[in-house]
C-alpha cells in the first residue's frame, strides 16, 4: 500500500471519528435539553427516555461501525475489490 493510500485511509478514519464525536455531543446536549423540558413541563410523565433510548441505539451503532468493525469492513472491502478485479480480467 502506497503512502498516499495510507494517508487517505487515515484521513477517512479521522473524519469518521470526528463525525462520531459530533454525534455524541449533539446526543448529550439535546437529551439534556429534553430532560430539563420534561421536568419543567410534565414532571410526572417521563417521555424523554424514549428519545434517549432510540437515539442511543443509533449512537451505539455508529460507535460500533467507527471503533469496532471498521478494520474488518475495510479488509473485507479490499478482498472484494481484488475478487472483482480478478473476475473482470477473465
- What are the tens digits of pLDDT across the range 1-52? 678 878 888 898 899 999 999 999 999 999 999 999 999 999 889 999 999 9
pLDDT surpasses 80 at 90: no
Using pLDDT thresholds of 50, 70 and 90, give the confidence band for residue 64.
Answer: very high
**Distance (Å) of CA 84 to CA 49, 57, 70, 78, 89:** 46, 34, 21, 10, 9
At 8 the pLDDT is: 85
Dihedral through CA 47, CA 19, CA 81, CA 1, nearest 10?
-150
Amino acid at each position: 500500500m502506497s503512502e498516499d493510500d495510507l494517508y487517505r485511509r487515515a484521513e477517512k478514519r479521522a473524519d469518521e471519528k470526528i463525525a462520531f464525536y459530533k454525534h455524541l455531543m449533539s446526543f448529550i446536549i439535546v437529551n439534556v435539553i429534553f430532560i430539563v423540558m420534561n421536568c419543567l413541563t410534565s414532571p410526572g410523565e417521563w417521555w424523554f427516555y424514549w428519545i434517549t433510548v432510540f437515539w442511543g441505539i443509533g449512537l451505539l451503532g455508529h460507535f460500533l461501525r467507527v471503533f469496532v468493525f471498521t478494520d474488518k469492513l475495510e479488509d473485507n472491502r479490499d478482498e472484494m475489490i481484488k475478487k472483482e478485479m480478478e473476475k473482470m480480467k477473465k
